[in-house]
A and B are shown apart, each in its own frame.
Chain A
Amino acid sequence: EPEVTQTPSHQVTQMGQEVILRCVPISNHLYFYWYRQILGQKVEFLVSFYNNEISEKSEIFDDQFSVERPDGSNFTLKIRSTKLEDSAMYFCASSERVLNTEAFFGQGTRLTVV
């Protein structure tokens, strides 16, 4: 069964450092997303991406965040200068269409900023 894969599964970084979280969406999917979940809290939308550009982003997704699809398979989230409050589980997801279709989530990257 096709699945979304994310690497690394766990990343520890020092405050102020840059991190790149990587995702390989399901191959025939056209819409890609990043979500985050702070421990004990709900899943929050960060950004959606379609046709090589951001289609929507939340207020969380400020100038410290960026996304890229550097090739035909990878989808990355970069945090330029990490803060303690960026510590969370980051989920990548993809979907075939935008409406009335389910999104499939990767297993997540646990980011710990120390």
Chain B
Amino acid sequence: RKEVEQDPGPFNVPEGATVAFNCTYSNSASQSFFWYRQDCRKEPKLLMSVYSSGNEDGRFTAQLNRASQYISLLIRDSKLSDSATYLCVVNRAAGNKLTFGGGTRVLVKP
């Protein structure tokens, strides 16, 4: 089983719609969780950290479910500029190594 697994997509989303997708992780000892955004051939950029209680940043909402070992990202009122690959990133308790999922591609269309 892969350490961090994501649906590669693409998720084709009409502008203004809501899209949500999950990421599962295999190591129950994982401590830190993040969503990064990556545009084509660019570096990953932090979108948001994911906290146990769930957190929201504008149109973006992240949730963590430790029991089922997944995190989710929801994007409301999608903009054309939200088109990107969204990377699920997990940090274990021991060591300092971020493990990336393969990414979920989102395409927002007019």
Contact = CB atoms under 8 A, between A and B. Distances in A.
Interface of A: 31, 33, 35, 41-45, 48, 50, 55-56, 58, 89, 91, 93, 95, 98-108
Contact of B102 (A42, A50, A93, A98): A42
Given A42-B102, A91-B43, A99 B97 contact: no
B26 interface: no
Given A102-B46, A107-B43, 14 more contacts: A33-B96, A33-B97, A35-B98, A42-B100, A48-B95, A48-B96, A50-B96, A56-B96, A89-B41, A93-B98, A95-B96, A100-B49, A105-B44, A106-B43
Contacts, number: 62
A100 B44 contact: no
B96 A98 contact: yes
A56 B44 CA distance: 21
Contacts of B42: 107-108
A45 B97 contact: yes
Contacts of A50: 96
